[in-house]
Amino acid sequence: MMKVSNTIYLEIMDSMEKKKRFRSKIHDLIGQQIFIDYPIDEETLKTRSFIEGDKFKVWFLGKDEAVYSFKTEVIGKVERKFPMLILKDPGKDEYKRIQRRQYVRIDTFIDVAIQPIEQIFQPFTSTSIDISAGGMAVSLPDNHPMTEKDEVVLWFPLNLQSSDMIYIKVKAKLVRIILSEGRLKGSFQFIELDEKMRQKIVRYCFEKQLSLRKKERGAML
């Protein structure tokens, strides 16, 4: 399920310390050992070292594009081209599936440019309402020129925590137009989406979900 180059997210399991979330990258998988970069604190963006016995809850995106979590601890350190921590891999039986990709849809407000393929109307810009790896909902102006089943090209940016801003260009079909709470919403289905770009959208949704869970837990404290 895990693979080298995966980004993973770690949360300290220590009742004496304020809950903190970190991210890191897997560099090697040997037996029951996971070799990772020194984790980066998502608030300070600084790396942090840990000692043997420190315990974490870990989240990662599996090869099947489902989100998994498990509990682990630091079992060592190693110096190769750079210092790495070694985590214990509890085994697949201990992985807990959180959610499959096709159900991961998150609310997000990003700029979207809509360009017709057949030039049947002038391109225009709007903002998204939500997004998943399969499509997105976009606010439509009252005088929008679109009809259901129109095919368009969507352009939009994604700000990933683990990389720079990326830009997605994807062919999409307008599946339906909905009037909800006084505003028009266009539901688009992605078609001919490059798998590499799909993975970027999956990761964006994954990161947004983790960020939301962190805020919810903070509000309950």
Task: Quote the pTM value.
Answer: 0.61
Provide the pLDDT for residue 18: 63
Asked if 63 contacts 92 with a C-beta cutoff of 8 angstroms, the reply is: no
CA distance 37 to 48: 10
Ramachandran angles phi, psi of 110, nearest 5°: -130, 155
CA distance 84 to 76: 9
Average pLDDT per consecutive 10 residues, the chain (221 residues; last block may be shorter): 84 71 89 93 82 90 77 92 92 80 75 90 93 91 90 93 82 91 90 82 82 59 49
Coil, strand, or helix at residue 182? coil
Provide the pLDDT for residue 220: 45
Provide the pLDDT for residue 161: 74
- 106-216 is classed CATH 2.40.10.220: yes
Fold topology of 7-99:
Pnp Oxidase; Chain A (2.30.110)
The C-alpha angle with vertex 157 and arms to 154 and 159, in degrees rounded to 5, equals: 150
Provide the pLDDT for residue 68: 85
Residue in 126, 184, 194, 120 with CA at minimum distance from that of residue 150: 120
Residue given tokens 């919810």 in the structure block: 216
HSE-CB of 161 using CA atoms within 13 angstroms: 24
Provide the pLDDT for residue 217: 54
- 200's CB contacts (< 8 A; 6+ apart) are 158, 160, 166, 168
Q: Where in the chain is the domain with CATH 2.30.110.10?
A: 7-99
Phi-psi region of 53 (alpha: psi -120 to 50; beta: other; left: phi over 0): left
Q: In the chain, what is the greatest distance between 2 CA atoms, to the nearest angstrom? A: 63
Q: Where in the chain is the domain with CATH 2.40.10.220?
A: 106-216
